[in-house]
Every structure is written in C-alpha cells, then in structure tokens.
Structure 1
Amino acid sequence: MSAVYKIGFLLYPHLTQLDLTGPAQVFARMSNVQLHFVWKNTDPVASDADLQLMPTHSFSTCPQLDLLCVPGGPGTQRLMQDQTVLAWLHAQGQQAGFITSVCSGSLLLGAAGLLKGYRAASHWNYRQYLPMFGAIIDEARVVKDRNRISGGGVTAGIDFALTVVAEIRGDEEAKEIQLMLEYAPQPPFHCGRPELAGEALVARVKQKLANAVAETSKDVA
C-alpha cells in the first residue's frame, strides 16, 4: 500500500468552523488518509462561533504535509501579521504537493508568500485583497491553478474538498464520498452570491461586514 496521505489544517482562534469542518468531513472519507489539525500549541481553540476545537499537533510536532489547507474566518486578520504562523505556512508550502484554502484563508496563504502569480478564490467580500499578495482574483467557486486549489466563501469548502479528492484519488472516489454525505444542496433562497442577491441585500450584508473589512484593510496595508 502506498504511504498514508497527510492532510493538515491550520487551526487558529476565531476561524470559521465550517471552513474547516466541511472539508475535513470530506477528506476523512478518503482512502489511506491521515488528518492533522495544527496550531502553535495543543490547547483548545475557539472558533468564531465559540465552538472549541482541539489541535492534534503543534507547529513543532506536525509532520511534513502532502496537502496544506488554510480555512478562513475573522481570525485571519490578526494572523496576517504573525510571523510564526506565516513562517510555518511558508515552510510547509515549500514541500507540500498541494497548497489549498477556503474562504479568506487564501489571504493567509498570500501573506505567507504562497500565491504570487497564482489565481485564487476567496469570500466575495475579501477577494479584493488578493492582488496585494501578488495573487490573481478568480471569482469561481473553486479555483485550481497548478498545485494551488482554493474555495470561495464558507460553504464552497465542500465543493472544494470534493474537487481535491477527485484530483488526488480520482472522480469515482470523490463521487462515492459525495453520495455518502448525501451532498445534493437545494438552498431555500437563490441569493448565495452577490450577482444573485440584488443590490439592496448586498448593501445590507456589506454594512454588517464593514468592520471586518476595515480590519483586513489595515492588516494587509
């Protein structure tokens, strides 16, 4: 049997848990895989919904990963200036076969110098900052550019993860996982992207996100 495929998630305070747990649920069904949840230490980490998440490794004990995945969330803003985090991401990214992200996690990859010259996705409210790191904005829900794969906002994480599984293990295994999870979304409202939502709804949501955008602008400046 081939070597176990090692997938690692950066776990950090105030991440959006679905950015992490959606892909993790998909990846956990892959054949011959091992998941690692990594932070500076192994103390519990609170998500932006106050869900306590438990790291399995610290930066110093994490093995070299085959796939690095960075979820997004409001905690990314503080980490874009955290040299310990950026150094770990950069070091893992030098050897990982795939470098990936969900939502605003792509901004952390960018801050670590891992997206220069690559197309990348992000949450629609934050993708404007990608060019500040040398990345190229792509508005698709899932974006693959060579060995960089990124998902858009939050719920795109499941689509992203199935795309990754198909890349690594083939379409049939990805289809099996999709069926196991009964992933057949039928949202009650057709407004999940700005181009579908209408100007008034987009304006209201942007207003609610205004403080987070201001913080992000300050951190990437």
Structure 2
Amino acid sequence: MNAKTVAFVLYPGLTPLDLVGPLQVMSGLETVETVLGVQPRHHVIVVAESLEAVPTDTPVRIAATSTIEEAPEPDVVLVPGGGAATLRQLANPVLLDFLREADRSAEVVASVCTGSLLLAGAGLLDGRRATTHWAYHRFLDRLGATYVPQRWVEDDQYLTGAGVSAGIDTALRLAARLTTDDLARTVQLAIEYDPQPPHGGIDWRGVDRDSFRPRVEGFAREALADHPVMLARLLE
C-alpha cells in the first residue's frame, strides 16, 4: 500500500521547535514503520510556498522539501506557530487556501502553538474546541474557536497543541491516532522523551493568561497593519 503523506507547513518567522519537535516524532514513526514492516506507512514532508530556506524566530533557517502545489491533498497536515510572523500569515491567501483545500481530504488537521490561529483564520475551527499558546487564547476565541487550556485538544479530525514544547506531546498523540499506542510508545522511547524539567512542572493555577496581552496585541498591530479587517477581528 502507498504511504500516507504527513505534511508539515513551513513559513517565514515560525518557531523552529513548533516544527522540528513534531517532525522528529513523525519521522521516528516513519522509521519504526519501516523497520517493523507496518502498512500503510506514513511519509513525512515539509511544504512551503517555495523551496528557498526561510528565517525563523531564532538564528536558524529552514528549507522545505516540497512546494504546497506539489502536495495539495496530504493525508495529514500540521501547522506550526510563532509570534508576529504567524499572525502575518492570517493575511496570506495562498497559505489559507492551501489549508482549506487540504482540509477537504485530510484524515487529521493538526497544529502546534499559534498554528491553530491559522487553522481558525482559514475557517476550519469555527465552533470547535481547540488550544494554542496560553498568551494567545483570546485571539483563538475571536477567530471562532473555543479555547481549551489543555496540552492538546481533539475535536473530530482536528488536533491542536498548546505552546512550543507541547508539539512533541501532540505529535505522539497524532502517532497513536494514526497507528497504535504501542507504536507511539516505541517512538517516544526512540527519541527518549521523558521530560523532567529542572524546575518542575508549571503550576497553571498561578499563570495569568492575560499577562502578555499588551505584547501579543502589539504583535498583531505590527503584523497586520496593512490588513485592518483582520486586525480588528483579533482586537475586538
């Protein structure tokens, strides 16, 4: 049987870990499936508007393996997030049209961090439960979704992950959803994902989710200065 295509979306200015963490998980799944002879397999690609390397919000640059025109109907699509650069993509009709087209046939549509804002901006999360980076929760609600403060959230074919490092958890859930819990555990072992942060876990009871509101609204004004309708939608 032909391998199913898992397409990661690349665009300028995104947060690398949003992309690379889940990409490592899904590439690990592809390796495990090959070794074990699992069918159907999943083939991982990275898609963008062009094959040129793009900047990220760190010093590293990343290049895609395929253009979005070469992968119009992926079986799975995953959208990473970022800061102002991600908000800027809310006014990119090429990317939003690609997401709408992919949504018509994809088995799973997923996101990490503020990547869910792009899914919502494309109209895919209207009335659905979803998550995003905690500092951007108001934007997600204003784009038609219902923010849920969880590490990852599933609503039908949509799987959304919270901020940055949550992409690894989200991708492991995706791997289990596409195959089995046992295969996902094998991938977790292969990448030795056993988080033990030196300062312990986050006590979410003490986190003020609006504490970064002036900053993220500033990002929106910067990113969408030439798109007043979308800007007003985020800041209403």
Question: TM-score of the superposition, structure 2-length normalised?
Answer: 0.84
RMSD of equivalent CA atoms = 1.9
1:213 and 2:209 correspond: no
Structure 2 CA distance for partners of 1:212 and 1:129, relative to 1, 3 Å: closer
Which of 66, 90, 102 is the aligned partner of 2:75? Answer: 66
Partner of 2:184, secondary structure, is: helix
Q: Which shifted more, 38-47 or 185-194? A: 185-194
Once the two structures are TM-superposed, the CA of residue 213 in structure 1 deviates from its matched residue by: 3.1
Once the two structures are TM-superposed, the CA of residue 196 in structure 1 deviates from its matched residue by: 4.7
Asked if the contact 1:104/1:127 (under 8 Å) is kept, the reply is: no
Once the two structures are TM-superposed, the CA of residue 143 in structure 1 deviates from its matched residue by: 0.6
State the partner residue of 1:47: 56
Once the two structures are TM-superposed, the CA of residue 159 in structure 1 deviates from its matched residue by: 0.5
1:144 and 2:154 correspond: yes
Q: Which shifted more, 29-38 or 88-97? A: 29-38
CA distance in 1, matches of 2:11, 2:193: 27
CA distance in 2, matches of 1:210, 1:128: 12
State the partner residue of 2:164: 154
CA distance in 2, matches of 1:193, 1:134: 28
Unaligned runs of 5+ in 2: 34-40, 225-229
CA distance in 1, matches of 2:8, 2:104: 16
State the partner residue of 1:125: 135
Structure 2 CA distance for partners of 1:49 and 1:192, relative to 1, 3 Å: farther
State the partner residue of 1:163: 173
Question: TM-score of the superposition, structure 1-length normalised?
Answer: 0.90
Unaligned runs of 5+ in 1: none
Q: Give 1:39's aligned amino acid.
A: A
CA distance in 1, matches of 2:120, 2:205: 25
Asked if the contact 1:70/1:102 (under 8 Å) is kept, the reply is: yes
Matched-pair identity in %: 34
Once the two structures are TM-superposed, the CA of residue 148 in structure 1 deviates from its matched residue by: 0.5
Greater relative contact order structure (CA < 8 Å, 6+ sep): 2
State the partner residue of 1:177: 187
Structure 2 CA distance for partners of 1:210 and 1:188, relative to 1, 3 Å: farther
Which of 42, 47, 60 is the aligned partner of 1:33? Answer: 42
- Matched residue pairs, number? 214
Partner of 1:125, secondary structure, is: helix
Which of 80, 92, 96 is the aligned partner of 1:86? Answer: 96
Partner of 1:28, secondary structure, is: helix
Structure 2 CA distance for partners of 1:45 and 1:193, relative to 1, 3 Å: farther
State the partner residue of 1:134: 144
Q: Which shifted more, 21-30 or 182-191? A: 182-191
Partner of 1:187, secondary structure, is: coil
CA distance in 1, matches of 2:170, 2:204: 19
Partner of 1:126, secondary structure, is: helix
CA-to-aligned-CA distance 1:24-63 (integer Å, 9 cap, x gap):
0000011222111111111101111021101111121224
CA distance in 1, matches of 2:204, 2:115: 20
Asked if the contact 2:73/2:101 (under 8 Å) is kept, the reply is: no
Once the two structures are TM-superposed, the CA of residue 117 in structure 1 deviates from its matched residue by: 1.8
